Homo-oligomer: A and B are copies of this chain.
Amino acid sequence: MAQQERGVRTRRAILEAAAVAFAEHGYTAATVADILRTAGVTKGAMYFHFDSKEALARGVLEVQTEQVLPEQEIKLQEVVDVAMAMTHRLVHEPLLRAGTRLSADPVAARRHRGGAWPLWGDLLTEFLTEAHERGETLAHVVPREVAELVVGALNGVHLYSQLETGLSDVEARVSTLLRHLLLSIARPAVLACLDVAPDRGARVVREVARMPASA
């Protein structure tokens, strides 16, 4: 058990070192040697968890969608929560920032079929399909189309904020994006009940931290 915990911590340390290297040098220029040095682990320890730079990139990308958020009475609130929690974590977790960068890196994206974006697209399509079936959305909404639109626009706003202000205003920018987009997605009665405040992500992430861990 202690050994298993140590394994989890080592795996995380390697992923965080990879994230730093990818963010600093870009995917192509980052080397496994850099990553080993930053993580302070041996080559053998790294290859036990990840057998290539590609596997490291895949690991960094998968961190983005592994967090499960609390269910909400309105399904569209869960769409908002996914976007806002991801945005909040982006500010505080270098691992998530690296994933965003990797998804926009031409070489990494070719090797990993669009990075994390298709994973987000599938997740939001599922939520929007359920919202649509429950009658929360306007008649013209096509769930897959809107899901991919939200993922694209959200990542674009993340990149813009990262470049312009180092993410210091990213939660306000995403709140603005969602307020605008939801006007063309949600029925008015649903719209009035949604919480799209800039600090929504922080509150959802705190709630997750208080949830009992599942088996």
Query: Which A residues are closer than 8 A to B by beta carbons?
Result: 23-29, 101, 103-107, 109, 113-115, 117-118, 145-146, 148-149, 151-161, 163-164, 173, 176-177, 179-181, 183-185
| B28 pairs with A26, CB closer than 8 A | yes
Closest to A105 in B: B26
**Whose C-beta in chain B lies nearest to the C-beta of A25?**
B28
Cβ of B117 and Cβ of A160 under 8 Å apart? Answer: yes
Question: Which residues does chain B contribute within 8 Å of A176, judged by CB atoms?
Answer: 145, 149
Cα A23 to Cα B157 in complex, Å, equals: 22
A selection of 8 A-B contacts at a CB cut-off of 8 Å is: A26-B105, A114-B163, A145-B176, A146-B180, A149-B180, A152-B156, A152-B160, A153-B177
Q: Is the CB of A155 within 8 A of B160?
A: yes
Query: Which residues of chain B come closer than 8 Å to A180, judged between CB atoms?
Result: 146, 149, 181, 184-185
CA distance A114 to B145 in the complex (A): 28
Contacts of A106 in B (CB 8 A): 23-24, 26, 101
